[in-house]
Amino acid sequence: MTTPRPGAAPAPQAGAAYDAIARSYQRTRHSPVRRHIEAFTLWQLLGDVTGEAVLDAGCGDGWYARGLRARGARRVVAFDLSGAMLDLAREAEARDPSGAEYRQHDAAALPVLGAFDTVLAAYLLHYAPSVTDLAAMAAGLAANLRPGGRLVALVENPDPVPDALSRYAPYGFSREVTALTDGAPIHYALVAGRELVRFDTRYYGRGTYAAALQAAGFTNVGWHGLSLDPGCGDEADPDWFAGYVEQPPVVALTAVRAGRVPA
């Protein structure tokens, strides 16, 4: 089965887009790059979360939200725009309760849910349909952090990746950046179980992300490459993964909420 492409302006409909592909997308969780590169990189950046209050923004099926609780986070609030993704999160929570709380919100119109120590935003900011929406998302995330709290995000790699359409075929997906201009669509098609799942994200430059975060009151904006878990054993041959880690489709972005937010 092939899921339909969610349209030319996907980000305003991102919740609906994920409603249509929720269960298929969830299957990508088992992919080696997600387990041994994405998750390893994020957990390394998150570090020790013991006792922290964490907001998981764009939580999807709640895999990280539950993992944060398992790693000792005191409180985890997880939100997503997609009701179907939240259904999957709540199903998993019912099967194996972690104590994570799930809410439905649009990151671009986020109320204050708390003064969190950490916000995790894995694959969220690049769904902003415009620079204005990106700024609104950054402001909403900042408003939910205590002064000194940190943001850990995964976003589309702002650097050009040569031959990207076929570069990622060995890893089960294609990625087509239509232009290196802010808001330009990035088309994905990825193999999820026996299905081909399509969705679009948006390109933003490094300076655009930094400006949105700084305007929202973040400092210490930092970029980080991806790392392969050295403990993943035979399942992930480092040579095979080198092409992914060296030219990654996404990169990590961290920032710290300043003590005072600009008026």
Strands of 195-202's sheet, edge to edge? 173-177, 185-192, 195-202
Q: Using CB under 6 A, which of 55, 76, 85, 255 touches ligand SAM?
A: 85
Establish if 107 lies at the interface with ligand SAM (CB under 6 A). Answer: yes
Q: Segment contacting ligand SAM (CB under 6 A): 77-85, 88-96, 155-163, 240-248? A: 77-85
Site for ligand SAM in 53-72 (CB under 6 A): 58-60, 63-64
Nearest approach, Cβ of residue 11 and ligand SAM (Å): 7
Angle between helices 14-27 and 83-95 (to 10 degrees): 40
Identify whether the C-beta of residue 66 lies closer than 8 Å to the C-beta of residue 155: no
Identify whether the C-beta of residue 71 lies closer than 8 Å to the C-beta of residue 49: yes
Residue carrying the six token digits 């920032």: 255
Nearest approach, Cβ of residue 100 and ligand SAM (Å): 13
Q: Is residue 23 classed as helix, strand or coil in its secondary structure?
A: helix
Nearest approach, Cβ of residue 259 and ligand SAM (Å): 27
The 10 Å Cβ neighbour count of residue 66 is: 22
Nearest approach, Cβ of residue 189 and ligand SAM (Å): 14
Pairing of strands 116-122, 53-57: parallel
Site for ligand SAM in 119-178 (CB under 6 A): 122-124, 127
Nearest approach, Cβ of residue 188 and ligand SAM (Å): 9
Residues that bind ligand SAM (CB under 6 A): 14-15, 18, 58-60, 63-64, 80-82, 85, 106-108, 122-124, 127
